[in-house]
Chain A
Amino acid sequence: MHRHTSLKKSPWHLSRSLRALALAGLAGVAALSAPLPAMAEVPLDQLVRIVAEGGNSFTRTFNPFSPTARWVSTRTMYEPTMIQNYATGQLDPWLATGYEWSADALTLTLTLRDDVKWSDGEAFSADDVAFTFNLMKDNPGLIGPAAGAFGQYLSAVEAVDAKTVKFTFSTAYTPGLYAIVDQFIVPEHVWKDVADPVTFENSEPVGTGPFTTIDAFGTDRYQVTQNPNYWQPLNIEGVFVQGFNGNDQVSAAVLSGNIDWGGLVPDPDTTFVALDPEHFGYWWPRTSVVMLLANTTDGALGDTTVRKAMSLALDRQRMINTGVWGKSVPGNATGLPEGPFKDWIDPAVVEAGASWVNIDPDAANKMLDDAGYARGADGIRVDKEGQPMAYDIIVPSGWNDWVSASQIVAENLADIGINVTLRTTTADSWTNSTFTGQFDLSLGTAQRTATPFEFYRNNMATSSVQPVGTASPNNQQRYGDPAVDELLAKFAASTDATEQKAIIAELEGMFNEAAPAIPLYEQPDWGLYNTTRFTGFPNAENAYAPLSLQMTNGPLLVWPKLERRAE
């Protein structure tokens, strides 16, 4: 939109120059918009239309080692050896059929499928797996689930024979299994000739995944079709990815039935499913917990009593009702989501923790009174240094569920004499503040992981605490307890599931004692589907895989199950 600011008085003729300008512009457009002849594209009605990438000005970058490459790179083109399935809690075999630990947990052996071919027809083998890991060792700039493995616990990866890979560990670290099997594998015969794999754009990808052929590619959408050599039967031709610039436009496309999978609409029962109950559906399983993070480097916020009192004041059900249309449950005192970790959660801890995660403002006030945080003349409590307990809570503007939860936090804490001001910022500024620990209060969620090991490491271990000012995605609240480090080391050295469960139960108890973060409610993983043309999407009745398109390992489980409905 243009607003011209000032009009200077100045006479000159216009017609000639104007026409020249217009012609130059049109010629430029013509040259840029028609570099390719129209090609035969697979008809759109044969493709699953998804909402996964924002924006436009798409470029052909399919490097699976870049988190910002095209969405399909790690969802349809390259595959890991095994897939941690957050819907079932199982580790599903994929390019590998299984794994085995040595008794000392220092050697991990993966057995690969022998019927896999790359999309260019070459056979997939153990050499490709070993090559991928060694490529990452030589190029630390390659990002993936196994990035950093060599620095921490891995010492060598080698192909024993065509279908067996051996991972040698420098130190016993059994959670490394999930990072290793989650890593996307690239073909040695293509990547060995790449000069710099970090900046390799990979515009003609060769992968093992279901859709590797770039059938058509435009400035703000593209379609990717079948890998002729895929190792599983496929019933669909491919995917169509449209870039959107705004949430309203995603909603409009979803409600018009122009999207088969993905997107987010507010209050889906009323706005979405009601339009076509036979075909429109959603499934929001919950695999992480939204937490209120209090910066423990601040005097009073570093006091467990204060954090527990704050927790007692919070109306979690109201946050759920306003923020996520009632589609969640309050978090429990272990900090773990119930769905994926039901086998790990110790019911005794959950029961004991009710004393600080269930709403009770009177108990909260009493706790603070007893601990010596007396109210000042204005009703605001003062901390041990005599400063009023007034804090900012920061969240990114536009993250509406979190903004509304933060408003409720501010209201609830006012009832117990703690003054909280909501400040919405840009997502970038928020990331910067929370990563570097320069905030009072904020919201956060945990990474999705196969076991609770990472949750406790990232929220309670001294090893995950960075000094204020140093950026880290983990332990933003900067709480560390050396006893946690010891337990985590015991867990990492163990291959015995029963022993690991006992250690996690102990960590749950320590989380319940110390409240390093305040669990609010379980975060739904947004997922919508439209079965007018395609069927087989996972949902609550058929929970074989996550429905979320954002996970890197969810969609791969879904593609082979989808079917085109007969016309």
Chain B
Amino acid sequence: MLYIAKRLAFYVLAAFVAITVNFFLPRLTPGDPASTIVATYSTTLNEESLAALRQAYGLTDDPLFQQYLTYLGNILRGDFGRSLSNFPAQVSDIIAAGIGWSVLLGLTSVLLSFVIGSALGALAAWRRGGIFDRVAPPVLLFLGSFPYFFLALLLFYFFCFKLKWFPMGNAYSSVNPPPFTLSGIGDVLYHLIAPAFTVVLVSLGPWTLNMRNAMIGVLSEDYLTLAEAKGLKPRRVLFSHAVRTALLPNVTALGAAIGGVFSGQLLTEIVFTYPGLGYSLMRAVSAVDYPLMQALFLIITLSVLAANFIVDTLYVLLDPRVRAGQGA
């Protein structure tokens, strides 16, 4: 358990560093939130409004360090303040409006690419040198090397705009959020297909290739020869012995990928007009919206740290070498 305590201390330190960087980094870039708002939203505001906006938004000339202490205090109390680019909305309200959809789209697409990619990789390695092995990995890598924006826009154009198989946007049909019923969930899933599919399509390649390569390594191990020699059925050898071991690197990657879910699927949100936090983050950065930026960066860093901590902790349970203190 000393190992977990050490890791925990490391993560607390990392979180503190991240919180600090979140504060200083946005403020190091040149820019003035009030000017940006005047320039973006109004053609009639003048210098007086500019000064008034600064005052209203609490943009003070206090020393940066003093502002930093105030910020730390607010973070500890869970007070993220009000967004400047959606003034006077609370940052927490904006995040609450988008986070569910980010998580839904992110988790669905990451888990689907993981499951499908690993299955395809295992299949390719099992029939190594076969037709499937020769065709699938290069095709998937080819798709993955497309710029995502281009591929998504192409699919949007054909399947949503021309053929109208899928909706041209939104996460559900009604304006108010859908009811939590079978038809409501179905509606949400229907809107999820096109955006999730494009993400899966471009990210499938690495999952497949990594799984295939790990499988090939495992298949040449002595214990698999032993398993076959014992007379086990090929299916049993494949699933219980080969896949189980070969999947481990992909599982580690899954931890990292899930941590990245909150950074949002910005391009997917743009192309499929899907709600989520990615677009909010882009707008926050372009509008120099410090409070919203800080809160979003905090969510991203904390979720990456949390996902990694879970992986680290599971190592202890699953890998005897870590328990013995050799490190991961």
Contact = CB atoms under 8 A, between A and B. Distances in A.
Interface of A: 1-5, 7-14, 17-18, 21-22, 25-26, 28-39, 41, 54-59, 61, 63, 66-69, 140-143, 145, 147-148, 151-152, 182, 198-201, 215-223, 240, 242-246, 248-249, 252-253, 256, 258, 426-429, 431-432, 435, 447-449, 464, 466, 471-474, 550-552
A140 B55 contact: yes
A245 B328 contact: no
Contacts of B47: 464, 466, 472-474
Nearest to A149: B48
A426 B286 contact: yes
B256 interface: yes
B87 A56 contact: no
Given A198-B56, A217-B176, A219-B101, 12 more contacts: A25-B103, A31-B100, A36-B177, A41-B175, A56-B269, A57-B95, A67-B37, A147-B52, A242-B169, A246-B270, A426-B286, A428-B288
22 contacts: A1-B199, A4-B256, A9-B249, A9-B252, A10-B319, A10-B328, A28-B103, A29-B100, A30-B180, A32-B100, A41-B174, A57-B275, A67-B45, A145-B44, A219-B98, A242-B273, A249-B272, A427-B36, A428-B286, A435-B35, A473-B47, A551-B43
Contact of B310 (A17, A242, A435): A17
B177 A219 contact: yes
A221 B100 contact: no
Interface stretch (B8-16, B126-134, B222-230, B260-268): B260-268
B283 A447 contact: no
Contacts of A1: 148, 199, 202-203, 265, 267-268
B107 interface: yes
A37 B161 contact: no
Nearest to B319: A11
Interface string B163-207: 000001111101111111000100010000000000100110010
Question: Mostly helix, strand, loop or mixed at chain B's interface?
Answer: helix
Contacts, number: 298
> Which residue, A13, A36, A464, has most C-beta atoms of chain B within 10 A?
A13
| Those 5 A-B pairs whose CB atoms lie nearest each other, nearest first | A148-B48, A141-B56, A12-B318, A32-B100, A34-B180
Given A33-B178, A67-B41, A200-B88, A249 B98 contact: no
A411 B314 CA distance: 63
A147 to B, nearest CB: 5
B36 A428 contact: yes
A245 B270 CA distance: 5
Interface of B: 30-32, 34-53, 55-56, 82, 84-90, 93-101, 103-104, 107, 109-111, 113, 148, 153, 156-157, 160-161, 168-172, 174-180, 184, 188, 199, 202-203, 206, 210, 245, 247-254, 256-258, 260, 265, 267-277, 279-280, 283, 286-288, 310, 314-315, 317-319, 328
Contacts of A240: 175
A427 B282 CA distance: 12
Nearest to B213: A7
A429 B31 CA distance: 6
B282 to A, nearest CB: 9
Contact of B49 (A7, A143, A243): A143
Given A249-B270, A473-B47, A39 B104 contact: no
B41 A68 contact: yes
A248 B168 CA distance: 11
A33 B99 CA distance: 10
> Which residue, A18, A56, A143, A248, has most C-beta atoms of chain B within 10 A?
A56
Contacts of A9: 248-249, 252
B271 A249 contact: yes
A159 to B, nearest CB: 25
Contacts of B254: 14, 18
Contacts of A245: 269-270, 273, 279
Contact of A7 (B172, B252, B271, B277): B252
B193 to A, nearest CB: 16
B94 A143 contact: no
B94 A59 contact: yes
Contact of A219 (B85, B87, B156, B275): B275
Nearest to A143: B49
Contact of A11 (B30, B98, B245): B245
A253 B34 CA distance: 32
A13 B318 contact: yes
Given A56-B280, A143-B56, A33 B100 contact: yes
Nearest to B48: A148
A57 B53 contact: no
Contacts of A200: 88
Contact of A57 (B34, B97, B168, B170): B97
A134 B22 CA distance: 40
Contacts of B328: 8, 10
Contacts of A151: 48
> Which residue, A2, A428, A449, A472, has most C-beta atoms of chain B within 10 A?
A2
A432 B37 CA distance: 11
A476 to B, nearest CB: 11
Given A67-B45, A223-B175, A473-B47, A11 B318 contact: yes
Contact of B35 (A29, A242, A253, A471): A471
> Which residue, A11, A39, A147, A256, has most C-beta atoms of chain B within 10 A?
A11
B314 A199 contact: no
Contacts of A221: 170, 175
Contact of B87 (A29, A66, A428): A66
B83 to A, nearest CB: 8
Contacts of A199: 82, 88
Contacts of A58: 97
A404 B202 CA distance: 34
Given A36-B177, A59-B86, A141-B53, A249 B168 contact: yes
Contacts of B203: 1-3
B76 to A, nearest CB: 21
Contact of B48 (A11, A147, A198): A147
Contacts of A147: 45, 48-49, 52
B248 to A, nearest CB: 4
Nearest to B288: A428
B56 A34 contact: no
A152 B52 CA distance: 14
B54 to A, nearest CB: 9
B72 to A, nearest CB: 22
B310 A201 contact: no
A241 B56 CA distance: 27
A7 B253 contact: yes
A14 B247 contact: yes
B260 A2 contact: yes
B211 to A, nearest CB: 10
A543 B176 CA distance: 36
A69 B87 contact: yes
B289 to A, nearest CB: 9
A427 B40 CA distance: 9
Contacts of A435: 32, 35, 39
A473 B276 CA distance: 32
Contacts of A2: 109-110, 113, 199, 203, 257, 260
